[in-house]
Amino acid sequence: MTERKNILITGASSGLGAEMARQFAAKGRNLALCARRLDRIDELAETLRGEHPGIQVVTRKLDVTDSEAVFTVFREFRDELGRIDRVIANAGLGKGQPLGTGYFERANKQTVQTNVVGLLAQCEAAMEIFLEQQAGHLVVIASVLAQRGAPRTLTAYAASKAFAASLGEGIRLHQGSGPVKVTTLKPGYIESEMTARAPKNPLIVSTEKGVRDMIATIEREPKSAFVPRWPWSVVAPMLRIAPDWLLRKVM
Ligand SMILES: NC(=O)c1ccc[n+]([C@@H]2O[C@H](COP(=O)([O-])OP(=O)(O)OC[C@H]3O[C@@H](n4cnc5c(N)ncnc54)[C@H](OP(=O)(O)O)[C@@H]3O)[C@@H](O)[C@H]2O)c1
């Protein structure tokens, strides 16, 4: 398999995105990093350039809910690095409240705009570049929560991740055996800013460990995968058949 040298990561200012940037930099890859908090991205880029002098790291401020900006920034990154070999559509928001409790604008809509329309824009912009290059690897970050609807604060988030999983699969089916590869990743619980705000899950793993598994999986370029593989390749399919009372208890 050809090495994907130039990697674009959205949502690289914290959590999984920032750690993927660190671990890909250690593998000698060039990086295009974006998020809304540019100060954080620039600081990370500075550190990575210092630690790995052979690599190129370029940065941009990007709010993925600004669709036009997504296309502009992706093209600027492509022009700056010469080509983009892999896009990791990772930016995501985990804000949510039970529906009907007054949080449409303040939480649920923001989550859906980021994780659904924002993700669609990222995939469109990535695919335009890949189709022009006749090569590329799109990685869609969904979640194990794509498996089932979820109660309480997770309802809109889980629905948005079901969209992500379906979108990734749909793009992959359309591409068939063509030159553009598509992987949908469904992470379980990995430490990040997002999971720090949620009730502690006993199956959570450190950012470093979770992302190590994500990177190994991304490099294999499977159609889709649960990460970390253990225990999620066993637990996630069980979510599909779990009774309602159990889901209400564990989610
Ligand atoms: N951690 C887990 O256990 C887990 C499990 C399943 C799936 N995921 C998914 O993994 C991805 C990364 O999440 P995380 O856990 O690393 O959480 P995180 O630490 O909160 O990181 C989320 C990232 O997304 C960016 N982001 C949020 N809204 C954005 C917007 N409108 N435009 C651009 N960037 C935006 C944030 O950057 P700015 O705020 O600077 O814009 C940040 O860099 C998400 O898609 C999440 O749903 C995580």
The domain ranges of the chain are 6-250
Query: What is the C-alpha to C-alpha distance for residues 99 and 205, in angstroms, rounded to an integer?
Result: 30
* Residues known to be catalytic: 157
Answer whether 127's CB lies under 8 Å from 71's CB. Answer: no
The strand ranges marked E within 36-171 are: 57-61, 86-89, 136-141
Closest C-alpha to ligand 1, atom 45: 92
For ligand 1, whether the C-beta of 228 sits within 6 Å is no
Report the amino acid identity of residue 133. Q
Q: Is 242 helix (H, G, I), strand (E, B) or coil?
A: coil
**Ligand 1 centre from 38 Cα, in Å?**
14
DSSP state, 54?
T
One pLDDT digit (tens) per residue for the chain, 251 residues = 779 999 999 999 999 999 999 999 999 999 999 999 999 999 999 999 999 999 999 999 999 999 999 999 999 999 999 999 999 999 999 999 999 999 999 999 999 999 999 999 999 999 999 999 999 999 999 999 999 999 999 999 999 999 999 999 999 999 999 999 999 999 999 999 999 988 888 899 999 999 999 999 999 999 999 999 999 999 999 999 999 999 999 88
> What CA–CA distances, in Å, run from 196 to 111, 192, 220?
17, 6, 29
Answer whether 165's CB lies under 8 Å from 148's CB. Answer: no
For ligand 1, whether the C-beta of 193 sits within 6 Å is yes
For ligand 1, whether the C-beta of 122 sits within 6 Å is no
Q: Which atom of ligand 1 is nearest to the CA of 141?
A: 45
Which residue, chain included where needed, has tokens 């039970």? 98
Q: Is 107 helix (H, G, I), strand (E, B) or coil?
A: helix
Q: Is 205 helix (H, G, I), strand (E, B) or coil?
A: strand
**pTM of whole model > 0.85?**
yes
> What CA–CA distances, in Å, run from 95 to 9, 47, 84?
21, 30, 31
What topology does CATH give the domain 6-250?
Answer: Rossmann fold (3.40.50)
**Ligand 1 centre from 111 Cα, in Å?**
11
**Ligand 1 centre from 110 Cα, in Å?**
13
> What CA–CA distances, in Å, run from 238 to 168, 232, 233?
22, 9, 9
